Structure formats: C-alpha cells, structure tokens
Structure 1
Amino acid sequence: MAVDTGLVDWVTEAMAPIGTVTMRRMMSGATLYLDGTVFAIVGRDALWFKADAESDAAWDAAGCARFTVEMNGQPKSMNYRRAPDDVYDDADVLREWGELAVAAGLRAPPKKPRSKKGVTRPG
C-alpha cells in the first residue's frame, strides 16, 4: 500500500503555521513529525493522530476510533486516534487536533534504543 502523499502534503501545509512536518515511511504508511515530535501516522487511507490517557476524553467525545492491529491473533490498540472527518477540508480544525496530538507526543516517554543482539562490544 502506498503512502497517500496528497494527504501528507495537506497536513504539511495545514500545520506549517506552527511547525515543520517531516515524514518517515513505515511498512504500509508513514509516521509524521512536527519539529521532531511524533504526532500522527498516515495509513489505511486515513490520518491517525497521537493520543494518550490525558487526551483520550477529547478523542472519545469526538467519536474518534482507536488504531488497532492484530498481533498473534489478538487485537491490540495503539495510542493513535482516527482524525475527525472535518480535518480533511479545514486547516484550522486540523491544527487544533494536530496540536492535541503533538502535546501527546511530547508527553510520551522516549523510546529506548534497540539492542544489537549478537554484537560484541570491546571491553
């Protein structure tokens, strides 16, 4: 599945007044960063904003579904919420939800670097 570059361009343009959006491709989509902070993913033909326990009430009130994947035959939800429909045609609304997502991204604990199995360090 290819990344919807039109959607990425729209998000980049809409978020420009508050920061620079960059993209990193992943398996079937892309991760979006605002000034280096993860705030969204693009996949499954949709925009999914970063969420957390602090912002869940706002996402729930807007009826935004959780991003779920199947792992080992079991559904697993991730801390991303489907963007409300009006973000696709209203830059101000996209920025409001985007700012909520950036705040969640800033609160997220830093990822631990991957260990390199089988690598022997001198010592």
Structure 2
Amino acid sequence: MAVDRAHLDDLFAAFGPVAVRAMFGGHGIYADGAMFALEAGGVLYLKADAAFARELEARGSAPFGYVASNGRRTVMSFWRLPEAAMDDPDDLAVLARRALAVARAAAAKARRPARKRP
C-alpha cells in the first residue's frame, strides 16, 4: 500500500480527521492527540489491549514486531488492520474508534501516579 497523507485521509474518512507524524521510517496516526495507529512498511496497525488483540487475531491479524539491533525480537501492542477493513470504511471506523479508546485508556493509566507501598 502506498502511504501518503491523502491515502490515510481517505482510509479514515468514516472515522474522522487524523494527524500523521513521521516516525522510525513509518508514521504514527493520531486522533485528539492520542496515537491509535501506526504505519510501518506500508502496513497499518491499530493499538490493542488484550481483549481487542484477541478479536483482531480472530480476524487473521498479527502483532507488529521488529528485531532490535541486539537481535532481540520486540512485539508491540499494535495489531495489523484486518484486510477486510481496508475495503470497508465503516468497519475500519469501528476498529479505529476501538483502537482510540485503547490508546486513551493506556495514556490515562500512564498518567496515574504510582501508589506508594507501606
């Protein structure tokens, strides 16, 4: 898939406006300041928690991962957008909203101060 701003705007039209920022040879995709998707190597990935990841896996998706310079494989909490959603704007919008909710929840959790242990 060729990735440019116009293509991403078309894909996410039913979802709403997105901001796109270049990162690590790919792009971070944001809504309301939260990164809910990423593009790497021409593939779109959505932010997922455990429950959403299971749903995406059931649809044939796989997690985003890479091999670091030390040879260690790293898997992130982003899962490939199911192929069917690429051709169904309403399905993509539903999945993107779910990913945005996951991203917002993760950001809120990260902002909470750690509890002190007695």
Identity of aligned residues (%): 30
Per the TM alignment, residue 109 of structure 1 is displaced from its structure 2 partner at its CA by: 3.6
Unaligned runs of 5+ in 2: 112-118
2:9 matched to 1:14? Answer: no
- RMSD across aligned positions (CA): 1.9
Question: Offset of 1:62 from its aligned partner?
Answer: 1.3
Where 1:15 maps in the other structure, the secondary structure is: coil
* Aligned counterpart in structure 2 of residue 69 of structure 1, from 61, 66, 71: 66
Task: Say which structure is richer in helix.
Answer: 2
Supply the AA of the counterpart residue of 1:4.
Answer: V
1:31 paired to 2:28 = yes
Deviation at 1:53? Answer: 2.0
- Tell whether the 8 Å contact from 2:9 to 2:18 is kept in structure 1 after alignment: no
User: How far apart are 1:48 and its partner, in Å?
Assistant: 0.5
Higher alpha-carbon Rg? 1
TM-score in terms of structure 2 length: 0.80
Structure 1 gaps, min length 5: 113-123
Q: Which has the higher contact order (CA 8 A, sep 6+)?
A: 2
**Aligned mates of 2:58, 2:40 — CA distance in 1:** 23
Aligned to 1:104: 102
Match of residue 114 from structure 2? none
TM-score when scaled to structure 1? 0.77
Shift of 1:54: 3.5
Aligned to 1:78: 76
